[in-house]
């Protein structure tokens, strides 16, 4: 197997491990599935689908990066360290901001369709 194919294999393994181990990632995926179902029910436009897909990718990607940062920090130090806490908290904050913005945009897309 050449290196290019191996890199995809490793990336997929990383995603699978994160899904298995990270509760918040499971929550984001469940919400993504619900949004997809609602998208079909409410027949959202192509542009609205594009926006939703970009937001799915953003939130899931940031959750994966957050997981990587948390694990890297834990690997480096087992002691309580203010800088380790900052790294973990800032990464988690990035996920939170992307999730909040995504929810707001989701409401802007779906609430008008409830009429």
Whether the pLDDT of residue 1 is over 70: the answer is no
Note the pLDDT tens digit of each residue in 21-65: 999 999 999 999 999 999 999 999 999 999 999 999 999 999 999
Residue 91: count other Cβ atoms within 10 Å of its Cβ.
Answer: 20
Catalytic residue list: 63
109's CB contacts (< 8 A; 6+ apart) are 44, 48, 51, 52
Summarize pLDDT for 81-103 with one digit per residue, the tens. Answer: 999 999 999 999 999 999 999 99
Sign of CA dihedral 18, 23, 26, 28: negative
Which pLDDT value is given to residue 79?
Answer: 84
Report the pLDDT value the prediction gives residue 78, as an integer from 0 to 100: 79
């Amino acid at each position: 197997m050449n290196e290019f194919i191996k890199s995809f294999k490793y990336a997929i393994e990383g995603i699978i491990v994160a899904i298995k181990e990270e509760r918040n990632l499971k929550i984001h995926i469940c919400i993504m599935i619900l949004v997809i179902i609602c998208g079909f029910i409410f027949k959202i436009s192509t542009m609205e689908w594009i926006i939703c897909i970009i937001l799915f990718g953003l939130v899931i990607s940031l959750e994966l990066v957050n997981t990587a940062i948390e694990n890297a920090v834990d690997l480096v130090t087992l002691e309580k360290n203010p800088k380790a806490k900052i790294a973990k908290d800032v990464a988690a904050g990035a996920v939170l901001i992307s999730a909040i913005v995504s929810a707001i945009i989701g409401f802007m897309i779906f609430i008008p369709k409830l009429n």
